């Protein structure tokens, strides 16, 4: 149960572990953000910067406001106070037209894939392109097949309905749709939820490749530690209604806070770290040979 507003007078303890070498204007800038639902305070004076080209993962206990924060970055909800800038534009002050224009520069992969069930894979991916009303159908056709290829879906899947697809294929089709307008910024909400470990590893590898090749900035929410350690450039921990710590995983893990100890350093976290270290030393020795 979140605390009530009056109880939040304690100044937030903030620890920003951003390495000095990161420079340039942030792609997403959140300043002094408050979110209240009635008398319940979810975010209190929250600040966060997300930089070009990084994969920033937001973690936090259940109900700490990760989804709400993501929705505020997408302009789907307005904060009670404070400012969210995306590509330098204040999204909380944008008109519906400005917001629509901004939405064309980012993609979003929702937790359940969220494909339109009445549309084929092809039409789902074509949907954002057709909404622009500026592209001829033959260009759309080529672009859709290219996006499908990028995510590892062959053209034979183009006319399938979402109900004919496996969980992994739904995620791939939804990712292709999120990439339809060639965004610079990609939001991922629990990208590997519901996938078995092999499919999850394959999807993580796909995100790594696309992030590298398309030079994407990625903002992700996940509870899955394997996904988190494999992908994140930095991790932002939401606790006590603000960003308690933000930095590379090795730095965040050293922060002495009960949530961090419980989340990262329990048996699940140790296992995920061991797998990551094994993978890294394998990659290192392969690149030496």
Ligand X SMILES: Nc1ncnc2c1ncn2[C@@H]1O[C@H](COP(=O)(O)OP(=O)(O)OP(=O)(O)O)[C@@H](O)[C@H]1O
* Minimum CB distance to ligand X smaller for 161 or for 193: 193
Contact between 57 and 232 under an 8 Å Cβ cutoff? The reply is: yes
Q: How far is the CB of 257 from ligand X (least distance, A)?
A: 16
According to the binding rule CB under 6 A, does residue 242 interact with ligand X? no
- Under the binding rule (CB under 6 A), the answer on residue 80 touching ligand X is no
Q: Is 67 in the site for ligand X (CB under 6 A)?
A: yes
> With respect to ligand X, which residue has the nearer C-beta, 66 or 147?
66
3-state secondary structure the chain: CCCEHHHHCCCCCCEECCCCCCCCCCCEEEEEEEEEECCEEEEEEEEEEECCCCEEEEEECCCCCHHHHHHHHCCCCCCCEEEEEECCEEHHHCCHHHHHHHHCCEEEECCCCCCCCCCCHHHHHHHHHHHHCCCCHHHHHHHHHHHHHHCCCCHHHCCCCHHHCCHHHHHHHHHHHHCCCCCCEEEEECCCCCCCHHHHHHHHHHHHHHHHHHCCEEEEECCCHHHHHHHCCEEEEEECCEEEEEECHHHHCCCCCHHHHHHHHCHHHHHHHHHHHHHHHHHHHHHHC
Pick one of 26, 60, 168, 191: the residue that binds ligand X (CB under 6 A): 60
Query: Is 2 an interacting residue with respect to ligand X (CB under 6 A)?
Result: yes
- Tell me whether residue 65 or residue 247 sits nearer to ligand X (CB atom): 65
Asked if 63 interacts with ligand X (CB under 6 A), we say yes
Q: State which of positions 29-58 bind ligand X (CB under 6 A).
A: 37, 42
Distance CA 238, CA 45 (A): 12
- Quick check: 191 binds ligand X (CB under 6 A)? no
**192 touching ligand X, by CB under 6 A:** no
Q: Which is nearer to ligand X, 58 or 140 (CB)?
A: 58
CB of 35 to ligand X, least distance (A): 8
Closer CB to ligand X, residue 67 or residue 81?
67
- Binding-site member from 26, 45, 65, 226 for ligand X (CB under 6 A): 65
In the numeric block, the tokens 């899955």 are attached to: 224
Nearer to ligand X among residue 128 and residue 194 (C-beta): 194
Question: Is residue 227 at the binding interface for ligand X, with CB under 6 A as the rule?
Answer: no
Minimum separation from the CB atom of position 223 to ligand X (A): 7
Q: Min. distance of Cβ 77 from ligand X in angstroms?
A: 7
* Residue numbers at the binding site for ligand X (CB under 6 A): 2, 37, 42, 60, 62-68
């Amino acid at each position: 149960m979140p605390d009530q507003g009056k109880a939040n007078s304690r100044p937030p303890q903030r620890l920003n572990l951003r390495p000095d070498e990161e420079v340039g204007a942030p792609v997403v800038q959140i300043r002094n953000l408050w979110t209240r639902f009635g008398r319940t305070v979810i975010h209190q004076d929250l600040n966060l910067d997300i930089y070009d080209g990084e994969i920033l993962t937001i973690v936090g206990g259940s109900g700490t406001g990760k989804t709400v924060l993501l929705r505020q970055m997408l302009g789907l909800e307005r904060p009670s106070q404070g400012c969210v800038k995306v590509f330098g534009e204040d999204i909380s002050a944008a008109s519906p037209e400005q917001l629509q224009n901004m939405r064309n520069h980012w993609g979003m992969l929702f937790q359940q894939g969220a494909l339109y069930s009445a549309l084929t894979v092809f039409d789902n991916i074509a949907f954002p392109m057709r909404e622009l009303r500026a592209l001829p159908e033959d260009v759309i056709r080529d672009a859709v097949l290219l996006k499908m290829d990028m995510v590892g879906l062959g053209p034979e899947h183009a006319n399938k309905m979402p109900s004919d697809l496996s969980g992994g294929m739904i995620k791939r089709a939804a990712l292709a749709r999120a990439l339809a307008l060639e965004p610079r910024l990609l939001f991922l909400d629990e990208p590997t939820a519901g996938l078995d470990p092999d499919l999850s590893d394959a999807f993580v590898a796909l995100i790594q490749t696309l992030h590298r090749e398309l030079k994407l900035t990625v903002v992700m929410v996940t509870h899955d530690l394997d996904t988190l350690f494999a992908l994140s450039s930095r991790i932002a921990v939401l606790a006590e209604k603000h960003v308690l710590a933000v930095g590379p995983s090795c730095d965040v893990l050293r922060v002495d806070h009960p949530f961090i100890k419980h989340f990262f350093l329990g048996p699940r976290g140790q296992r995920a770290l061991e797998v990551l270290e094994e993978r890294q030393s394998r990659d290192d020795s392969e690149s030496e040979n």
